[in-house]
Every structure is written in structure tokens, then in C-alpha cells.
Structure 1
Amino acid sequence: MADPASYRPAPGTIPTSPGVYTFRDSDDRVIYVGKAKNLRSRLSNYFQDPGHLEPRIRTMVHTADHVQWTVVASEIEALNLEYTWIKKFAPRFNVMYRDDKTYPMLAVSVKERFPRAFLYRGPRKKGVRYFGPYPKAWAIRDTLESLTRVFPVRTCTAGVYRRHEQLGRPCLLGYIDRCSAPCVGRVSPSEHMDLVDGFCSFLAGGNTDRVIRDVRGEMTDAAENLDFERAASLRDQLGAMEKTVEKQSVVFSDDTDADLVAVASDELEAAVQVFHVRGGRIRGQRGWVVEKKASTDDSIDGGAGSATGADSADGAGDAGDTTWPTLLEDFLTQFYGENAELANATESAVGGNSRVSEPDGVTLEPVPREILVPVLPTNRDRLTDWLSVLRGARVTLRVPQRGDKRSLMETATTNATQALRQHKIARAGDLTTRSAALQELQEALWMDDSPLRIECTDISHIQGTDVVASLVVFEDGLPRKSDYRRYRIREAAGDGHSDDVASIAEVVRRRFKRHHRDRTAVPEGDDGGDLLDGEVTVEQAEAGSKKFAYPPQLFVVDGGKPQVNAAQEVLDELGVTDVTLVGVAKRLEELWVPGDEYPVILPRNSQALYLIQQLRDEAHRFAITFHRASRGKRMTRSALDEVKGLGPKRRAELVKTFGSVAKVREAGVGGISQVPGFGPALAEAVIDALTQPEGSV
């Protein structure tokens, strides 16, 4: 049996979003399906002391070989996906819903003369419109109670309806106007059908705002009239209504037959996620991480590598990636080609058609009617014709623009991003992989020893404003965040201009000046005395333990040949000779070495290249984070911040009294002096600061 600690996800890698998780054995068979409002919180419970787990769960975690999860947009979506997958996979350790029982649904018998709304469990029937399923029956009952105040549709059974029809008087709901009482002819069939249409439209999301607004207004009125019991009841009804009508992007119309293909990528790899939707539900999910082919227009030009777009996506690529159309065409061709071959082989072996019947009766085609993609692949028409031949019917290939399918595409993209991140973390966390990466770097750069400590710097700004730099540190192939440093560029940037090459040089100079100062620092008043060889005082030991008292074996700058040459000039100026310097340029991730005419090209599948990419991405992320913080702080500052003697409380009181800084200026010294805590001297200082010309010192 497996030890749960051997496949426990790394701390912080599990998202905090709602989702569905599956525990799988060594043969990748699903043995347990669960849902969670917070995946990280729920999954952590399975990896606690096994003695604290109930016997069934303890056996399950020891039987499992790994755990996977799928992120969705809401708890309701997680509920629906969990239900669908339990029905499909029939996991051995799941207890609920493996039989014919189902989650409760809200049903409307639209084909009856006087349709009724009711709570329902069981298989779907013709002539009935269903909403759900939903997690709790009480939510549907409370929603019915609220909606029948606005749409008094029939909710009674056929027996109750016939009895009151014979008696000629309505039931209690008819007397209190919670039912339109069609049994005694208060409304005609057409009038009742209008109520049913409004009722269904609300549940489908058509006019929910008005109804919810009316209930919220009643709740407010009840609270103002001190009728707290009714206000509490309306509050509960309001919560139930909002829960019931929550949008669900994992449930479509019953005839939806589509595959959603989502992609998240970086410069080297792409994670592809496929959601198989059959019969309006997600019947399965599959994922791969594939290597991207080098683009033909990639160039080795040694261009600037600074993160000038500070708000760009971190880690995952976007739909503007020029390699996506080609990648999608290659993937779709291989994926559906293999599916069709497998289906044909099955058909030849067992006879009959090539469709596969799922446990809940849904028929899966090797190629669906519709394929949804983030961007249209190259040669779209040719690919569509080929897919149509494989299916034997017309196939549509398109990009979803709005609605539930667009929402599900976003969910699938989130899962692709998570999958790519997990893949990178797994690669970085393996000791053998890290050792191989350091060894490959040593050989590629002709170093005497493996670079156990690597530092990388990156520049971030937007059009020359708030120019900052990051310095990240990796030791033994892992981030050492306690050694990270941030820099504000002082000399090479300012007044709306920035020089990336000079900024790199400034960071290198400041970093290695600090190293030189820390290494040569001697505690004041300590000349070494009569210490033996190798013996040091406590002060000397503490001074020598400073984090930057020793240099890295490898220093990486984000950029090409110009950045590397500028950094090397600084190292020569400071006399630093024991550090290997390289620059990593974008696109092909080539490594530029000072003095070399051509870059070092690492194999695209090498562990060394993955480590360099991870290092560069971490420097990029850290620089962007600092840039955003600096930019936000600058944008929230005002001239009042520069007034001496004006603290946060009196500054807030001043703005609160006058409403804005402009009105404070208009108030003048006399008006400001009337504010409690402000004397004439401080008021005059405030006016001087506000009337000072912009940009003056």
C-alpha cells in the first residue's frame, strides 16, 4: 500500500478555489471522487495523521497512488461535476449516489394543462423541465415558497388538485394567494401558462434581479418595522433563491455534444486540457503537458529582456501566442486521429458501431459535433473537413464568445494553468532532476564546479515609470526566498525614461559592492588580536554570516548580449573574477556569455533549460510584484503627505471635513484653522504644500 506522504502535493500548490478532486490508484483508476468549496483546505485533511481518519478514508488514501483536481467557478458547479463523475466512474470508496438516487431537482411539468412545480429525484422524463440538481432539498422548498409569492403557480399533486376541483374551493395556498387556484377557475390555462413561463424564466436566469430585489425590499421593510422574525425568514429565503439560481457552466442543454480544448503555455511547454461534454454534462477530463516546437520566426538577436510589460500574465501564455494555432492543429490532428483509430479497432473486434456507451447511458462519439478552442488553428477549413470525415457528419470548430460555453472555457483554461504549474513544481522538486540540471549547466558553461548558488536579476517598468529590479536566489536548484532583494533604479531611470542596459549595470554594481563591503567588513575596534589560525571572535563570525558575504557561482541577467556586456564591465571594474555571468534572452532561451559571438543553445528538453526558465520566471514575477506595489503607492500619494507635522489622523480629518484636496486648497488658511487640531502655522504649511508648483522641490 502507498504512503500518502509520497504523493502529497507540495504546500501552497493546491488552489483555494472550489473544485472536484479524484484519488486514483497506480493504474489511474478513479477510486474516490469528492468536491470542495476550498480545495486546499479539504485535501489537507486527507494527509493528516492516518490514525485520525475513519477506516474507509484511511484505506482509500493508502490505496491511492496520486490525487488530481479540477477547478470550477462555484460550489454548485463542483456539486454537479462530482455527481456526474460518481455516476460515470462508480468509485469503490464513494458511498453516496452510486445507486439510482440522485441530487434533488426542481421540476416543472410543462406539458400538463396546468403545469405544476415540485421537488423531484430520479431519472429525467419527457414533458418535464428540470432545474438543478442542487445540494439540499430545503433550498428548493424555500425557493418555491419565495417564488410562488411572485409567480403563484400550482404546486399540488394531481390527487389534491382533483379533490379541490370537486369541492369547488381552493386549498390553503389558494386562500393566501400563494397559488393562482386553477382548480376552481380563477385563471385560464393561458394565464397560468404565463405564470409558469415567468417562473421558468427566473430559474433560467431571465428575470432574477427583479424578484430578488423585491424579496430584499420586503426583508428591509420587515427589519425597519421591527418584525425581525419575518425579516429572518425572508433573509433565509433570499439566500436559498440566490443559491438555487446560481449560474452553472458545467450543465448545458441536454443536446450539447462538444469538446472544450484549453491551453496554457510558457516558452517551452504547453498544458492542454480537454473537457468532454456529452448530454449537457462534463463526462470526462483529460490533460497533457506537451513540448512546444520552436517558432520559425524566433531570432537570436540578443534583444532586451526586461519585464517592461509589468501587467503581463505570469507563467501561462495567452491567446495571442503565435505558436498556439499551429500547436492546436497538431494536437487536434493527433488526438482525434488516435480516437478514431481506437474506435475503428473496437468496432472491428466486437462488431457494431464505433460509439461507446457510458455507464449512465450517454453515448460518446470519437469526434463530437462541436469542438471549442481558445483560438482557431491554422488551416481551419482543411482540419474541419477532415474531422467531419472522421465523424461521418458535420463538425463545427469555433471559439466560444459568450455564455456558459465561454465560462466553461475559462474554467478549463484555469485547470490548464494549474496543470502546467504542477508539472513545473514536480520537475523542480525532484532531487535527481535538480542535480542533473546543475550538472548540465556546469558542462554547458565550462564551469569548474556545479553552480550551487545562482542569482538572477530582472527589470520591470511601464514606459519608464516606477523602474525597479528584482534579485532572486536559487540554492541547490530551489528558491531561497529569504535572500531575495528588491532595488529601485536611481541613476539609470527617472523622469519618464529608462535604460534597460544601464539599469542592469546599476543592479550588478550595487549587488557586488554590497558583497565586497560585507566580505571585507571588520568589527570596529577589532584588529584580530592573538587569535589562532581559523579562530574568530563572535562579532567576526556574525559579520561573516551576512547573506551577501559570499558570491554566487552563476549570475544570470534577463537580457541578451548588450545586458551581459554591461554587467561584465561592472564585474571587471569591481575586480570580481570568481563569478560566471550569463544572460538569458527571450524566445529561444539562449544563454549569452560575455565575449562570445554566439550564444549557448541548451537542448529544449534539457533539465538545465527548465531550471534557467524557472529562475527567469521567478525574477520576472518578483520584479512585477514590486513594480505594482511601487506604482500603487505612488498613485495614492498626495501633496498632503509632504507636510511636516501633518500625520495620518489629521490628514484624514482634513480631507473628511472639506471632501477633497482641491477644496482644502480653496478653504485657505482661515478655513483650515477652524478644523480641530490645526493652528495657523500648520494651516499655512498645508496651503504652501498645495500651492507649490508641480515638480518643484
Structure 2
Amino acid sequence: MDRTIIYYSTARGVISLDEAKLKSVLSSLPDRPGVYIFRDARGEVLYVGKAKSLKKRVSSYFRRRDSFLSPRLRKLVEMIEEVHVVRTSTEAEALVLESQLIKRYQPFFNVDLKMGERYPYVCVAEGDPFPRISIARGGERSGMRCFGPYTRVSDVRSILRFVERFLPLRTCSTPMEEGKPCRERPCLRHFVGKCKAPCCGRISSAEYGRMVEQLVLLLEGRFGELFSALREAMEEAARELRFEEAARYRDALRALASLHRQRISSPLREGIDDQTWMEMEELRKVLNMRGLPWRIEGVDISHTGRSQAVGSVVVFDNGLPNKSLYRRYRIRDSEAPNDPAMIREVVRRRYERVLSGYEPPSDLLLVDGGPAQLGAALRALFQLGIRDKHVVALAKEEELLYVPHRSSPLRLPEESLALRLLKRVRDEAHRFAHAYQDSLRRRSLTTSRLLEIPGVGRRRLSLLLSTFGSIEAIKSATEEEIARVPGIGPSLARVIKQNLP
């Protein structure tokens, strides 16, 4: 082999090195999970593999190139001209992405996953007052909502153990109707605490539905919302002196934290359609990127004059929004309406966490705005030592694309697939920032309205918030529930309910 090129994607960009520097490049590969793609001189994909450690796995091919016993491996290494590396957050994500890429490219040297191996999904029945939970392979079952795939059996078992203990849904296929018990006595699963026995009418469809909603939050990876729901339930049980129930919720929170560390990013559970592949491929060509932009971050700012200035970061994995990686920021250091300064603050705060290993890196950073916003983002990255990352800015209205080191912006055709993908990311960042600002504004207005109610000062408002947890919860509470808060009473509770917006 005369020449080998390594294309290595990280948060700091793409590096291209020749054979003379191969050793130093291999040593610089991340000791993290990911997928590697071998290509030949024509750019055809030879092999796709996944690794728990990209550094160790990719290096092994070139350290042992002359000692492989298998003629097939020797031939593979002889034909390699390019290596592209895609980092993932977990080994499970790498396995799913490897499977998708093999099905897409059908590489000659891949054998095991060409036949469309099917991973298990966790499925919840739809259109049933008491939905059952089941396991299926391949997903897409009629009348079932499927979540997955799960690449390790241990992940499925962990989820099922959590469900059996804290969300004891039924697994049987017995037809059931609300208010019409179909059995006189429950089965053994009820007596060991693994089912609430809806077949015997021992749980209402409303209460059962709340458990299903919590299960869906878990399976969709919306851990933050599920944490909040369980924490509120625990605090309510403790206030009402139901200490055994509170302890069960406490244990559920601990178990949930363990499951959270094993999660697979939601978009990697979805197949990548041809349209998305075409969008990413066109964007790669437009920006002259060596590899596809698997992960794109979008940054936007929202403010009203000098109040409620916020920033947002959204993440698209494989062309799809990955809401588990969305982040929002209250602007602290910049005074509105200085948009470039606020962009700089958000990018700096975001990438401090990326460099610390708390957030995954991306292949492309997109900011909403023009050359000023682009320059602000670049300065924030330069301050952190990141000098070769792909960063672009997309201006609204004319949809001009600003790229570093270009004297004039790019004007992509309206039908451009690359522009369509960028607009989707930009608009989602815009929506997320505005939603956060609106939420803060509503909260502020409602708080002000409460403080204007005679008899409600900051001390009583603090008691209400500590009891109910949020303004929305106070608004949905009954007069009797509000009256039970120390220092409120029936009369003031009635006034509060009458004056809440």
C-alpha cells in the first residue's frame, strides 16, 4: 500500500494526514466509542466497523497489517485508502449506527449485518384502556407503539426490571374493558407486585394511564420530565405522611438514574431515509467537508429589548432532532440587544462543557444570523483553543449562508437539499429559544399577578411554590388544596383562585 489517508472527525474538525504521519494520527484518535469506515481509492466503502475505543481498534489494523492470518483481512488492509471516524456517545449508539451504515452501503468485507439482523424493541399496545407491554424484534407492529432498538439484552432486562418494580403494567393479552372485570381473582404476578390487576378492576384506567405515560417518557429518553414527575409524586406522598410510597418513589429515582447512564440517543433508533442521506451528502459537498455532518448543532438567541434574554442549542443526529441533547441558557454576561455578544456567550458555555466531556461534540455548528454572529461564534471557539471546527451562519429572509474565509456569502438555490436541512436546524433552534423565553415571560407575569393579590406576599408565594412546585401546578390546584397550605386558609385560597390568570 503506497498511501493511506486518515480523515478523523472530532469537535475540533477534520484532519488529513499521509502515510509519513500515520503513526501520530493513530495515536491521536479518541479513546472513545464510535464507527470507522474504510474506503478504497475510488471512494467505495470497503468495511464499516464499530469500536468501544476507536484509537485501539483502528490502530490494530495498521500495526498488524503484515501478520494477519486471514487472507481476507490482509486484502482489506491492502485496499484501504481512506479511514473516516465517527464518534458516538455510547458503544450502543455505535452498534446501531454501524448496522445502519452496513445496510446502506453493503460493504464487500462486511458479512454479519448484511442480512438485516433485527434488534429487540419494547412495545406498548395502543387503543386499549389498559395497554400491555411486550418485546418484539424489528419494530413496526400493528396496534403497537415500539421503542428501540436495544442492542444489548441487558438493556432490555434493565428496563423490564424497572417497569415490573415501579410501573407494574400487564403483559398478558387478555381483552379488557373499563369497568368490566374479566376475572374474579388476579394472577400470580399481582401477588408478587408485578401487575396492578386491571383484569379484576383493582386499578382505574386513569391511574393505569399515568403509569403508561411515565413508561413512554422513559422509553423516549425524556428522563428530565420523568425525574420531575417522580420527584413531585415522592414529595406529595411525604407531605401526606405516606412514607412507604415516598420511599418507593425514591428508589424509582435512583433506579432511573442508573438507566439514564445506559440510554441510546433517540434519533439513532430511527432509520435514515434516502432524503436525509441526500441532504447530508449535499451539505458535505457545499461546505467541502470530508465526512458527512452526522451531528449538527444549531444556536439561536431570543430576547425582548433588555429583558428575558435567552439562548438555545439544538442537536440533530443523522438529520433528526435529538431532544435529549437540547440545552437552553439564560444570558448572564451580555446585555441585550447585543446578539453577537450573546451568541459568543452561548457558544463559549456550550463548548466549555464539550471540552470537559460533559456534552458530545458535533461535526457542524450552525448559528442563526450573519457575519457578525459567525465571527462571534468563531471567537468563542478560538478562546477555547478550537480553531478548525466547521462553523457556518444562516441569515433569515434571504437565506444567505456565511462561511469562514469567504468574502461573500453563499446563496444556495431554494430547492437545495443542503439548505433545507440547515433551515430545519435553524428554525428548530429559533422555536426552542422562543419557547423558553415565552415560558419565562409567562412565569414572570403570573408571579407578578400573584404578588398583586391582597394577602399574598413573597413569604406566602414562597410557601405556595414550595408546596406545589410550579406556577402551573398552583393554577391547576383546587381551592381546598390551596387552603391546606400553611398560612393560606379557605378565604385567601378563594381569592387566589379568582385572581389567577
TM-score (norm. length: structure 2): 0.48
Greater Rg by CA: 1
TM-score (norm. length: structure 1): 0.36
